[in-house]
Structure 1
Amino acid sequence: MPDSSIPLPGPAVVEIVETVLPAGDVWTRLVALFDVVADRVAARLGTPEADAPVVVSGDCLVAGATIAGAQRAGLDPSVVWFDAHGDVHTLRSSTSGYLGGLALRLVLGAHEELFAAPLGLRPLAEHQAVLVDARDLDPAEAGYLAGSDVRRHGVEDLQAALVPGGPLVLHIDVDVIDPAELPGTRFPAPDGPTQAAVLDAVRRVLDTGRVVAVDIACPWHPARDEQDTATRARLLAELLTAARNGL
């Protein structure tokens, strides 16, 4: 991804996570990278004078590392997951093979031998997950959610009383915003909430005072022009400001 893919605001203090990826399959390489991310998150949470961690990436899979990092810091977080999609596929149910579509289900323990166990992630119980929006579900995802203890709420319905108690990791996939306001996402889902509604809901979660880390996923195509870049930069600036004020 080019440096311009995630246009963070100038004043933001950005720490790039890099590591030498080992030979092996995609799971081996993901775990190697995410192990470093989890350590950085844990270090931030274990240093009182450091800013609370905000992890920004190109897709939702890194949320597993953010949660694992909170666990390494001695916390037992639940997750509030903003997304246009469910991200609760398994390798068996996925028709595309896109691993980002498994992201939340991996956190809940799917394919534990491939992801959670080697990463040292303790899978969350279903009742520890709140899925916000998820307006674009495949049939297999809808079937799973209908029989699970994962809580689902709309963006505008989400209130502090509806999120689990204890520490929280707040995950925001920017494609939760209607694509008319945020063009260029890789998996656009029409009829979504406005950016303003999403930001208001995010602030309501942050206002609980229990969010220990924020995870922002930006699964979008390269910007088509300066207007796209400016739109994305403004969104990220607002999300980072909200996180900075709420953490």
Structure 2
Amino acid sequence: MTVIAVPFHLDEHLPDLELPLSPGRSIAPALPAGSPWERMAALYEEVAEAVAADVTAGRAPLVVSGDCTTSLGVVAGLQRAGLRPALVWFDAHGDVQTPETSTSGYLGGMPVRQLVGGADRTVAQRLGLADVPEQDVLLVDARDLDPPEAEFLAGSAIRRVPVGDLAGAVPAGPVYLHLDVDVIDPRDLPGLLFPVPDGPRLPAVAAAVRHVLAACDVVAIGLACTWKPGSGADRGVAELARELGATA
């Protein structure tokens, strides 16, 4: 088991990010000047190197960070280790925006689109990230979609299922399991950066995650700790995080 902390939200270092479990390693380099994507490319290069080293040594990493974009480095690292993982992506959001479709311009709403070959390509090109085929991506929940995201997914091979309907839907082969904690209903996890009401409750999410762990060859896990400082949300998911850490 390897727990790797990446205490960043996008290119902002969060040295006081409250984590639900203790890491064995923290990746927190001084980032170079440049655009946010250029800075994140430098950060995710280190993430990719660490993930590739762990997988090559027979260890499954659990990467804990403050956002979902860190997944670009994780998947690049898996590919460097010779794997072509499918994605099982738990999130309240679709994360399939592009710079052209996003009304907010929030970069953290784009990583799934980047992983399948769209949106800004700065990080992908820097890391040598190969496109993940759309049919190898399973979005779990994604209940909060902007119209451009819904339109993209309607014409895409990406699959989307509710948290309770994973049986028979999970992909074969190696899997990168990504869990953005905002998939959990904010009644059970207050303090989220981007809360979305009417979501699955924490026990249902935990059961679904256990199903993926049991049914799939999970080769890496990403845990996006998308909460506000001092919210106590880290304690709310501590038990689930320990389960993930014991599996990684």
Give the structure-1-normalised TM-score: 0.90
Q: 1:103: how far off? A: 1.3
1:119 aligns with 2:127: yes
AA of the residue aligned to 1:242: E
Q: 1:2: how far off? A: 5.3
Paired residue for 1:158, among 150, 155, 166?
166
Paired residue for 2:55, among 21, 39, 45?
45
Are the counterparts in 2 of residues 87 and 102 from structure 1 also a CA contact under 8 Å? yes
Where does residue 243 of structure 1 map in the other structure?
244
SS of 1:164's partner is coil
Aligned mates of 2:170, 2:216 — CA distance in 1: 12
Aligned mates of 1:209, 1:77 — CA distance in 2: 11
1:215 aligns with 2:227: no
Where does residue 80 of structure 1 map in the other structure?
88
AA of the residue aligned to 1:232: D
CA 1:40–1:191: 2 relative to 1, 3 Å: same
SS of 1:60's partner is coil
Paired residue for 1:15, among 5, 13, 25?
25
Where does residue 129 of structure 1 map in the other structure?
137
SS of 1:115's partner is helix
AA of the residue aligned to 2:244: A
Paired residue for 1:93, among 78, 96, 101?
101
Are the counterparts in 1 of residues 164 and 204 from structure 2 also a CA contact under 8 Å? yes
Deviations 1:196-245 (A, max 9, x none): 0001000100112400000010111112xxxx42x42241x323332234
How many aligned residue pairs are there?
A: 236
Aligned mates of 2:169, 2:26 — CA distance in 1: 34
Any unmatched runs of 5+ in structure 1? none
Aligned mates of 1:169, 1:151 — CA distance in 2: 15
RMSD value, Cα = 1.6
CA 1:29–1:243: 2 relative to 1, 3 Å: same
Aligned mates of 1:167, 1:144 — CA distance in 2: 26
Aligned mates of 2:241, 2:193 — CA distance in 1: 22
Where does residue 64 of structure 1 map in the other structure?
72
Deviation larger for 81-90 or 111-120:
111-120
Where does residue 179 of structure 1 map in the other structure?
186
Deviation larger for 109-118 or 58-67:
109-118
Aligned mates of 1:187, 1:32 — CA distance in 2: 26
Are the counterparts in 2 of residues 79 and 169 from structure 1 also a CA contact under 8 Å? yes
SS of 2:101's partner is coil
Q: 1:112: how far off? A: 5.7
Q: 1:24: how far off? A: 1.4
Paired residue for 2:43, among 33, 39, 42?
33
Deviations 1:47-68 (A, max 9, x none): 13xx420001111100111111
Are the counterparts in 2 of residues 203 and 246 from structure 1 also a CA contact under 8 Å? no
Where does residue 204 of structure 1 map in the other structure?
211
CA 1:111–1:136: 2 relative to 1, 3 Å: closer
Are the counterparts in 2 of residues 45 and 73 from structure 1 also a CA contact under 8 Å? yes
Are the counterparts in 2 of residues 175 and 187 from structure 1 also a CA contact under 8 Å? yes
AA of the residue aligned to 1:243: L
Are the counterparts in 1 of residues 110 and 119 from structure 2 also a CA contact under 8 Å? no
Aligned mates of 2:160, 2:50 — CA distance in 1: 30
Aligned mates of 1:245, 1:232 — CA distance in 2: 17
